[in-house]
Amino acid sequence: MNKLVALTFLALSFTNHASADTLLQTAEQDGSFKTFLKAVKVAGLESTLNGAGPMTVFAPDDAAFAKLPKARLKALMANGDELKKILSYHVYPGKITQADVAAGKVKSLEGADLQLSVSEGVKVNNVKVVGDEINADNGVIHTVSAVLIPKG
């Protein structure tokens, strides 16, 4: 019985430790979202991603931002309003885990629909979700392989 209690305590401690921070803090600790984090600051979305949640962030990693032409990325980083629209398009105001994801549309924080698909892996607007989900106290991060650009 003592071993079971100790294992349960250890499992609960690890679970709490693994998701003991906000989405922003979790992304900072991950280390592969440096450009995303800079963009969040420029866009003024820090309080949103540090908020109560739950939220799902389809976060482009540094490799995804590197796919954008340098001039486009530089122009975006100089335009907080456009950046806020684009980054808000990467956020769903609710929690969708890999186990919960289903094909269909969900409305982004920006207001436009995101198209989720589950054939050939999870995709958002035909952009592949890569790696495992990253849990935080106020939501979950799914890494996407490209920056999602809302239409219009």
Domain boundaries, the chain: 22-144
Token couple for 28: 């900072």
Q: Please give the pLDDT value at position 1.
A: 45
pTM over 0.75: yes
User: Mind listing the pLDDT tens digit for each residue in 34-93?
Assistant: 999 999 999 999 999 999 989 999 999 999 999 999 999 999 999 999 999 999 999 999
User: The CATH number of 22-144 is which of 2.30.180.10, 3.40.50.10070, 3.40.50.410, 3.40.50.620?
Assistant: 2.30.180.10
Please name the amino acid found at residue 138: N
Per-residue pLDDT, averaged over 125-141, amounts to 95
Q: What is the 3-state secondary structure (H, E, C) of 102-146?
A: CCEEEECCCCCEEEEECCCCCEECCEEEEEEEEEECCEEEEEECC
Render pLDDT for 80-111 as a digit per residue (tens, 0 to 9): 999 999 999 999 999 999 888 999 999 999 99
